[in-house]
Structures are given as structure tokens and as C-alpha cells.
């Protein structure tokens, strides 16, 4: 059973380069999804063997997240089958690395563990490799040539929130341009909850989306 269209919208879609920086966004998203589903399958087997949820936390940087675990659990429950097979295919004219999974099988009995993992990851308050889309509302820097900090208004799990991050010089320059034009920007990173605030660590793929705020 192919599952990309069913759960891609539930994932935090930080992008993998895969050695092809010019690859289309859809291809990068598919590569990320394939790796994340495979990592979730490995984590679930590890959790069953160890009796802990640590294997999920150890694979958050591979794309394992609360949203992914919950989405996979929902698919397993809805399918009412012995297992769920996620398959991924890519254009032959643009091959991907051999380590990109082409097929991942999830037995139905993984659903309860995946649900428990989703709850645990939300309690930790970390969304690994989360992608944000929003506007730059605050610029903070004593010397723009050295970079600085910004705050974005962005949607986080369906709610509009302010997210703070520190950027190196090139990305901070883009942030200034986005602020001046009120343009939307995209970026990915590890989203942490600090009280009521949100902080994006390890920001990457910071780009102007080409759209302006409505």
C-alpha cells in the first residue's frame, strides 16, 4: 500500500539534500518521507525489544516525530490488515542514493506502540526537522554582517505562533529582505518548546517562498 499522499501532509517536512541540491521540492519531500517511515519502523522494533520509547527519541533527526507516529498508527488501524506496506519510487533519469528506502513494511501490531510514541514525543516538546512557513516580524542584530536573531510568525501544529532563531550572515540578509517586502519565508530545523515560547535550533534551508503575505 502506497502511503505518501496519506501522511505527507502530517509530517514536518525538513529537507534532505541527498547530494542533489537542485532536486524539486516534491522529490526532496518524498526522500525525507521514505527515510522517516523506515526510521519509525526500526524505532518501533527497538522499542518493543527494549520496553522503552528511547529508540524513537534517538531517531528524531531522521524524521521520526509525533505527527509521523500518529499518522502511521491511524493508517494501520484504518487499513485493518495484517500489515501496511509503504512504497516509494523515483524517476530513473534522476536516481537517488542506494540508502533511500524503496519499501517499508509495518505490521498491524505496531499501532499501539506508535500511538504511545506520539504521546511521549509531544510531551518532550521537540519537533525534529520541522518546516516553518511564515513572516519575519522581528530583526535583532548589532551587526547584520555577522548575522543575528529573528522572530517569525508561523503555523505550528495548526496554531499561529512566534518562533525565534539565530541566523548566520547570508540567511540574516535574506530575513531582512523578507521583512522589508513582507514576503513569506520557509526554513527547517528542530523546534523546541521553552515555556510558552518556541525556538528553532539548527535552522537550515532558509529561503524566500516567492509569495507575499496576504
Report percent pLDDT > 90 for the chain: 46
**Confidence band (pLDDT; 50, 70, 90) for 98?**
confident
Burial-class residue 39 by CB neighbours within 10 Å (0-12, 13-18, 19+).
Answer: buried
Architecture of domain 127-212: Beta Barrel (2.40)
Q: What is the pLDDT of residues 109-132, one digit of tens each?
A: 999 999 999 888 877 666 666 789
Q: According to the model, what pLDDT value does residue 173 have?
A: 96
Cα–Cα distance for residue pair 200/160, rounded to 1 Å: 15
Burial-class residue 88 by CB neighbours within 10 Å (0-12, 13-18, 19+).
Answer: buried
How many C-beta atoms surround the C-beta of residue 119 within 10 A?
A: 12
Range in 36-45, 155-164, 172-181 the model is least confident about: 155-164
**Confidence band (pLDDT; 50, 70, 90) for 157?**
low
**Confidence band (pLDDT; 50, 70, 90) for 26?**
confident
Domain residue spans of the chain:
4-124, 127-212
Does residue 77 surpass a pLDDT of 70?
A: yes
How many C-beta atoms surround the C-beta of residue 168 within 10 A?
A: 12
Q: What is the mean pLDDT of the chain?
A: 83
Amino acid at each position: 500500500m502506497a502511503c505518501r499522499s496519506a501522511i505527507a501532509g502530517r509530517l514536518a517536512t525538513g529537507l534532505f539534500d541527498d547530494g542533489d541540491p537542485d532536486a524539486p521540492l516534491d522529490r526532496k519531500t518524498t526522500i525525507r518521507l521514505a527515510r522517516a517511515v523506515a526510521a519509525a519502523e526500526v524505532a518501533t522494533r527497538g522499542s518493543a525489544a527494549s520496553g522503552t520509547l528511547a529508540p524513537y527519541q534517538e531517531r528524531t533527526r531522521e524524521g521520526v516525530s509525533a505527527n509521523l507516529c500518529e499518522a502511521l498508527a491511524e493508517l494501520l488501524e484504518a487499513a485493518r490488515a495484517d500489515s501496511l506496506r509503504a512504497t516509494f519510487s523515483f524517476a530513473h533519469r534522476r536516481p537517488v542514493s542506494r540508502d533511500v528506502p524503496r519499501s517499508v513494511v509495518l505490521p498491524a501490531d505496531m499501532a499501539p506502540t506508535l500511538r504511545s510514541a506520539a504521546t511521549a514525543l509531544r510531551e518532550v516538546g521537540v519537533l525534529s526537522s520541522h518546516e516553518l512557513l511564515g513572516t519575519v516580524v522581528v530583526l535583532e542584530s548589532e551587526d547584520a554582517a555577522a548575522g543575528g536573531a529573528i522572530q517569525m510568525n508561523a503555523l505550528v501544529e495548526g496554531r499561529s505562533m512566534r518562533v525565534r532563531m539565530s541566523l548566520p550572515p547570508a540567511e540574516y540578509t535574506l530575513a531582512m529582505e523578507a521583512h522589508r517586502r513582507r514576503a513569506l519565508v520557509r526554513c527547517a530545523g528542530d523546534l523546541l518548546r521553552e515555556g510558552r515560547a518556541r525556538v528553532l535550533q539548527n535552522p537550515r534551508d532558509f529561503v524566500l517562498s516567492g509569495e507575499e503575505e496576504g
